[in-house]
Chains A and B, each alone.
Chain A
Amino acid sequence: MSAGNKLSIGWRVGGFVRENGLLLMLLVLIVAFNAANSRFLTLANFTTLLEQNAPLLIVAVGMTFAIISNNIDLSPGSLIALSGVVVGLVFTSTGSIVLGIIAGFATAIVAELFNGFLVARAGINPLIVTLAAWIWARGLAISFTDANSIVIRDPFVSFMNTRFGPISPPLVLIVLAYLLGWFLLNRTKLGRYTYAIGGDEAATRQAGVDTAKYKLLMFGMMGFFIGVAMLIALSRLGAAAPDAAYGLELDAIVAVIIGGNPFQGGEGSLRKTLVGALFIAVLNNGLSNLGMLDAYFYVYKGLAIVAALLFEVVSRRLLTRDDTTLTAVIVPEAAREI
C-alpha cells in the first residue's frame, strides 16, 4: 500500500499509524516499563534483553519466510531442543565441540528438509507436518537424554557468554541473521519466489518456477537459523536441555504477525518482523523484571497479543477497506481459488 500523492492528510497520518502502529506501541511499552523500573532502560539491560531473546529473534527470520510463502512452521522450538541434545551427546562422547556443532546443525537442517519434503513434494499441509515434528522432535530430545540436561563445559560456551562492552556474540549473530535474511528475501530468487508462492502458488508454478525446490530450500534455511538459535540457547544455559526453547515457535509466529505481516502470505518484510520480535522481547523482559508471577505474565502477554492484532486488523479495514482478512482461514489458498 503506497501513500500516493492524491491521498488526503488524514489518510496519510492514518497510513503512518497503520504502518508503524506497533513501533509506537513498542515505544509506549518501553516508556511504561521504564516508569515502573528505572533500571529497565539501561544499555546493560538492553543487552541482556537481546541475549535472552536472541533465539526468538533469529527463528523469527526463518518464520517470516515461512509465513510470507503462506506456510507455517511449528517445529523450531522442539528442533532447537533436539539439535542441542545432539550437540551435547556428540560433545560428551567425542569431546569435540566442533563435531558436536556440526552434528547439531546437520540434525536441524535434515529435520527441516524432511518437513520441507513432505510439504513441498508430497503436498501435505505444513501445519500437520510441523505439528508432527513439534511432537516427535521434542519426544526424541526427551528420549535421548532420559529427560535430563547435558552439561557442556567448553571454551566455546564461555566465549558465547563474553561481553565486549555492550556487544556480545549473540548480538552479532542476531545482526548477521537479519542481514542474511534481508539479503535472501530482497536480493535473491529465493526471496522473490517466496513472495510469489505466497501470493499465488499455482500461478507461480505455471510461470515455470520449480516451487517445490524453493519451498524445500526455504525449510532448509529455517533449519540453519534453528541451528544458530540453538547455539545461543545452549551457551546461555551451559547445557543441552530437552525442554529448551519451549513454546518458542508460538512466540516467533506471534512476532511475525503482530509486526504486521499478513498471515495469509504474499507480502511482508523483515523490518516488520524485527519490530514484532522486539515487542515480544521487551514484553518478556519487562514483565519478568517487574517480578511478575508467570500467571499474570501469560495474561498480559495474551492481552497484548490480541490487542496488537486487533489494532492491526481494525486499522487495515478502516484504512484500506481491504477484505482479504475475510478469507483468512487456515488454508487461505484454497479459499481464494474458490
Chain B
Amino acid sequence: MADSGSQRYSPISLSTSESIGVRLPRLLADYSTVLVVAVLFVFFSLSSENFFTGQNLFNVLKQMSIVAIIGIGMTMVILIGGIDLSVGSVVLMSGGVAAVLIQEYDFGPWLAIAVGIGAGALVGLVNGLLIEVAHLSPVIATLGTLIGVRGLGQIIIDNTYVWVTDGVFVGLAANKVLFLPMMAAVMILLYVVVAIVLKQTIFGRYVYAIGGNPIASRLVALPVVRTKVLVYVLCGAFAGVAGMLTAATIGFAGPNNGANMEFSAIAAVVLGGTRLGGGVGRVERTFLGTAILTMTLNYLTIRGIPDIWQQTVTGFLLLAAVLLNYLAQRKR
C-alpha cells in the first residue's frame, strides 16, 4: 500500500510548546483547504452573477448537509484507521424505518426519527463488533453490511416508495431556524459539537491516539476496542441522521436512497486532507472538503453544464486533491 514513511509519525497537534519553525509549515498545510475553498468561492462569485446570491448560498448549504453529516462519522472512522462502506445503505434503511413507522404504524415523528437513527447506530454496532471483536478487515466487513443492509432497507420499504406526509418530518428539510435552513443548522451544530469533542475530551484524545499508533495505544491500556466500536456506532448514527434528512428532502424513502453516498463521503473526507490509515485529520476539514465538492457542482449547474458531467467532475476533483496533497507533501 501507500508508502507512508515520512508522514507516519506526524504528531497530533496537542502540545503548545512547538517552535515557530515547526508550526508555520503545519499552519500552511492546515489552511491549504481553507485557501482552496476561498479561491474557488471568489472565482465562482466573480465569474457568475448567480452564484453569490443569498438564495444560492443557502442552496449550497442545504445540498452539502447530507454528505457533510455522513462525513463527520466517516472522518472519525478514518481517524481510527478504519473505513465504513455501509453508510449509504444505512441512509436507505434508517430513512425507510422512520418513514414506515410514521406512515404505517402511526408513530409520532420524533419517536420515528429516534428509532430510525437508532437503527443506523445498530448497524454501526454490528460493523464495530465484526471489525473489532471478530477481527474482519474494515473494508470487507462493511462491504458485507453495505450489501446486506441495502437489502434489509429495501425489504422494510417493501421495495417501493414510501411517501412521508408528516409535517414535522418533511419540515426537517423545508423549515428554517432563524435565517438558516434547518438541515444546514443541524449540520453546523453537529460539526461544532464533534469538533469540540474530538479536541477537548478524553474520547477525542483516544481517537487520535488509537489512529496514530494502535499498538502503542493497546500497550498503554487505552480502551482501544471500546473506543473503536463506539466510533463505528457514532458513524452509523450520523448516517442515520443523514437518512432522515434524505427522506425529508425528497419526501419519500425509496429503494435508491443513499446509493453511492459512501463514496461521496469518503471523497469529501479525503478532499479535506484526512489521511486514510488514521491518526491525522480534522472533522472541520471534512466540512471544507464537502464544500469544495458541492460548490463546484453547484457552479457547474448554474453555468448550464449538464448533470451527466457531475460524476466525471467529482472524480477528477478527488484525483486533483490527491495529487495536490502528494505534491505538497513531497516539497516538505
Contacts and interface: CB of A to CB of B under 8 A. Distances in A.
A147 interface: yes
Contact of A250 (B138, B147, B270, B319): B147
Contact of B140 (A119, A122, A135, A257): A257
B3 A123 contact: yes
A309 B141 contact: yes
A139 B140 contact: no
Interface in A259-318: 263-264, 293-303, 305-306, 309-310, 313-314, 317
A313 B139 CA distance: 15
B311 A136 contact: yes
Interface stretch (A15-23, A99-107, A151-159, A323-331): A323-331
Given A123-B2, A146-B308, A301-B147, A329 B154 contact: no
A338 interface: yes
Contacts of B4: 331, 333-334
Contacts of A70: 1
B83 to A, nearest CB: 6
A330 B148 contact: no
Interface of A is mostly: helix
Given A139-B313, A143-B312, A302-B151, A132 B135 contact: no
B304 to A, nearest CB: 15
Contacts of A333: 1, 4
B214 interface: yes
A331 B2 contact: yes
B315 A250 contact: no
A138 B264 CA distance: 14
Contact of A330 (B270, B277, B323): B277
Interface of B is mostly: helix
Contacts of A127: 1, 83, 139, 276
A40 B307 CA distance: 43
B310 interface: yes
Nearest to A326: B135
Nearest to A333: B1
A326 B277 CA distance: 15
Contacts of A335: 81, 214-215
Given A139-B311, A326-B135, A131 B3 contact: no
A250 B147 CA distance: 9
Contacts of B323: 118, 122
A125 B276 contact: yes
Contacts of B147: 250, 298, 301-302, 305
B146 to A, nearest CB: 7
A178 interface: no
Contacts of A123: 2-3, 326
Nearest to A145: B308
Contact of B310 (A139, A294, A328, A329): A139
B139 A131 contact: no
Contacts of B145: 302, 306
Contacts of B216: 338
A5 B169 CA distance: 67
B137 interface: yes
Nearest to A127: B276
B135 A298 contact: no
A136 B319 contact: yes
B13 interface: no
A116 interface: no
Contact of A139 (B82, B134, B141, B309): B309
13 contacts: A119-B2, A125-B277, A127-B83, A131-B266, A134-B263, A135-B267, A142-B311, A147-B308, A257-B137, A294-B154, A298-B152, A325-B136, A334-B4
Given A135-B314, A140-B312, A329-B81, 16 more contacts: A135-B318, A136-B311, A263-B140, A294-B151, A297-B151, A298-B150, A309-B136, A313-B135, A314-B134, A317-B135, A327-B215, A330-B81, A331-B276, A331-B278, A332-B1, A337-B8
Top 6 closest pairs, chain A to chain B, by CB: A302-B148, A136-B315, A298-B151, A139-B311, A139-B312, A295-B154
